[in-house]
Amino acid sequence: TQLPTPPGGRSRSSAEQASSMDPQLTRSQQRTICSQLGRVILQLLYKASIHGFTGSAFHQQCDTRSPTVSVGYNASGFVFGGYTKQPFSQSGQYVNDDQAFLFTFSGEKLLKYPVTGPANAVRMIGNSGPYFGDALVLVNGSQLVVYTCPGNYYNFNAAEMHGNDLNLTECEVYHVEGEFSLNNQILILSMLKPWRPVGWENETRTELMESIRSYKPTVSSVSQVRVLLIGPVGAGKSSFFNSINSVFRGHVTSQAISGSSTTSLTTQFRTYSVKAGRGGKPLPLILCDTMGLEEGTGAGLDVDDVISILKGHLPDRYQFNPSAPLHSESHGYHGTPGVKDKIHCVAYVIDACKVSIMPTKLEEKLEAIRRKVNLMGVPQLVLMTKVDEACPFVPQDIRNVYKSGYIKEMMQEVSTRLGAPLSCVVPVKNYSEELELDPNCDILLLSAIQQMLHFADNYFDEINGFPLLIM
């Protein structure tokens, strides 16, 4: 049985196409387009660099398929195209479509241009690619070019649409698949064997909670394992603590500041101890939250501050200053930290929706941090968050996380990018909009904590004289 693929996933028709039919449209861009169309997903039908920059190749792959989203790309970096609910053909006629629209991306924002002449929304021309009225043609006359004429049934600004760069580097057409198709693929998922087995019974949740409560570090001077959370702005570090706290409190909580922002909402170094219920004893775990990583120099968490945190020098509530890392003269500086003050495990928190579009500079920062952590012998794992936003099969049932082909691909990609074994990558879903706990979501979160404690044991083994294998 073949695994179904999420929006814009690769064609599974042949081994060759499976390796080459990767969509150029990013996951974020796909979600933005889908938000205009309802509860739908996108499946890639035609890719000009694979099938050919010709009208015949386009029609061979796309005729009779509807609705569709057609996308053009140029060397100037513009991503633009159109939507139609009408199936393509080679009749030479105009067809009516009052829902058709053209679009372009301005950053992550979609600029939309609705059809102004519905009766002439799409024209079915045999020797060209997608032909929207007489306003926009992709692969015009079987050439790697665009034809454009604003005002002919669509109103748009040509410079805004494509920067007046009419040479195509790629053209793609996606089939828009609706709820029925999604439900069918979820049904297929339910019959597949997970590639990483997980027990989803309530007993599993109870056993995990008890195992965490009763955990004791093997170093007598340490009562609580300290786990450092590192990741880009908005990846979900603070939300992860809130989610773990929620599981043990029995209801959704929001102690750590979290939310959506382009800059880090966490500006202090915070150490959070989780309690076993309201007024309960602290668990043998402290989650250390940091300022988010940012691309720019002098912005976000500084690499030198990471070293100070690992060594146990940073005091709780230390105010981060990206332009001036902590030094021995700073207020509250721990000059002689013990083992209990140091970091025993590092968890990189990565947004599953942004793995494939991670900026190079951010990746380089993570690589620099990872190398330093390795040199200090601290075990590391990766928390891949927002899996429910990355794959449409997961929010339907969180238990699909280890059946989803796309989630596995993202885990493999983040494994490669960070140089971490796949076994060190753990998917989780934080509580963000829910008011009630989900036992299956709890199991993923608790499993992540259990892995952290196992990794901390590796750190303590090193202290006790057993060699530690670092990633």
The span from the CA of 62 to the CA of 119, in Å, is 21
Q: What is the pLDDT of residue 360?
A: 84
Task: State the DSSP H helix or E strand holding residue 84, giving kind and residue range, or none if neither.
Answer: strand 79-84
The answer to whether 290 and 266 have CB atoms below 8 angstroms apart is: yes
3 state SS of 188: helix
Confidence of residue 8 (pLDDT cuts 50, 70, 90): very low
| Mean pLDDT, range 71-78, rounded to an integer | 96
Band of residue 300 on the pLDDT scale cut at 50, 70, 90: low
Question: Tell me, what amino acid is at 417?
Answer: R
Residue 277: predicted pLDDT? 82
pLDDT surpassing 80 at residue 42: yes
Please report which confidence band the pLDDT of residue 330 belongs to, taking 50, 70 and 90 as the band edges.
low
The model's pLDDT over 404-444, given as tens digits with 9 standing for 90+, comes to 888 898 899 999 989 999 999 999 999 988 889 999 999 99
Beta strands in 145-191 (DSSP E): 146-148, 168-177
**Edge-to-edge strand list for the sheet holding 282-289:** 318-319, 268-275, 282-289, 225-230, 345-351, 380-385, 425-427
User: What is the average pLDDT across 291-299?
Assistant: 70
**Helix (H) / strand (E) containing 198:** none
* Count of helices and strands (H, E) across the chain: 14, 18
Domains, the chain, with CATH or none = 15-182 (no CATH), 193-463 (3.40.50.300)
Handedness of CA 191, 197, 198, 201 (dihedral sign): positive
Tell me what the pLDDT averaged over the chain comes to: 85
Residue 163 has what pLDDT? 96
